[in-house]
Amino acid sequence: MSQLQRIAIAPNQLQEDQILLTPQQLHYLGRVLRLRDGDRFMAMDGVGKCWLAQLAGEQGQVLESLSVKTELPVTITLMVALPKGNGFDEVVRSCTELGVTCIAPVLSDRTLLNPSPQKLERWRRIAAEAAEQSERSFVPTILEPEAFSTAIKAGVENQRYICEARGEYPHLRNSINSVSGEIVIAIGPEGGWTETEIENAIASGFQPVSLGRRILRAVTAPIVAISLIAAACEV
């Protein structure tokens, strides 16, 4: 099935066994990919379902439902203090490819950026494209940015980690205590977390962890963290 092109559809585009294609999807399938009536493609709804379909005029005729096994056995929420410039684009793209479930952009004491609403739309588009590209059946949720102090108070996951570049903390690799369930991992901004932020996170159940002895860029650290979790959880 790997040679087939994929498109992401909204769940309400599927009616009975017909996929009602949008003008953009028709353009992409017909003009960009040069598919003709009868040619096959895959459609994913971004929330776990995938279908084999064939082009039929302005619709996709569903041929069969497919089982896609590309998701990790854990749910990972990545909390990231927004890096400067367009660094967050790369975080969203790479971490989606690696299997993240949810990305929560947070504003920390040393965050420089307060993003525009257009940025959120852009990140969601990047996540959808990266999920398609890496053949995932889920598109990660990108939450609205919120203050780190608020974000750490939500949720009841028992595996919550905060990455700190300095100090004698256990390595994340040795700290993951379950390869299923829900994991939350927090990465700081270019200037790092403040002491108060670390203290508040610990008080909210976060365990401080290291990603190794080198100081990673704010864009590299999330990629390393998600890779380590995926490596620990995937057989």
Interface residues with ligand SAM (CB under 6 A) are 163-166, 187-188, 190-193, 210-212, 214-218, 221
Provide, rounded to whole angstroms, the least separation between the CB of residue 143 and ligand SAM. 18
Quick one: 181 or 191, whose CB is closer to ligand SAM?
191
- Of 103, 149, 162, 151, nearest in space to 130 by CA: 103
C-alpha to C-alpha distances, 13 to 68, 82, 126, nearest whole angstrom: 20, 33, 21
Quick one: 104 or 221, whose CB is closer to ligand SAM?
221
Q: Is 109 helix (H, G, I), strand (E, B) or coil?
A: coil
Quick one: 62 or 216, whose CB is closer to ligand SAM?
216
Quick one: 8 or 185, whose CB is closer to ligand SAM?
185
Count of H helices and E strands in the chain?
Answer: 7, 13
Quick one: 125 or 171, whose CB is closer to ligand SAM?
171
- Of 53, 40, 225, 46, nearest in space to 136 by CA: 46
Provide, rounded to whole angstroms, the least separation between the CB of residue 223 and ligand SAM. 11
Cα(45)–Cα(50) distance, integer angstroms:
7
Q: Residue with the closest Cβ to ligand SAM?
A: 188
Provide, rounded to whole angstroms, the least separation between the CB of residue 132 and ligand SAM. 28
**DSSP calls for 128-174:** HHHHHHTT-SBPPEEPPPEEHHHHTTS---SEEEEE-SSSS--BHHH
Q: How many CB atoms lie within 10 A of CB 54?
A: 15
Provide, rounded to whole angstroms, the least separation between the CB of residue 134 and ligand SAM. 23
Provide, rounded to whole angstroms, the least separation between the CB of residue 187 and ligand SAM. 4
Quick one: 29 or 187, whose CB is closer to ligand SAM?
187
Cα(220)–Cα(205) distance, integer angstroms:
24
Cα(52)–Cα(6) distance, integer angstroms:
9
Provide, rounded to whole angstroms, the least separation between the CB of residue 173 and ligand SAM. 11
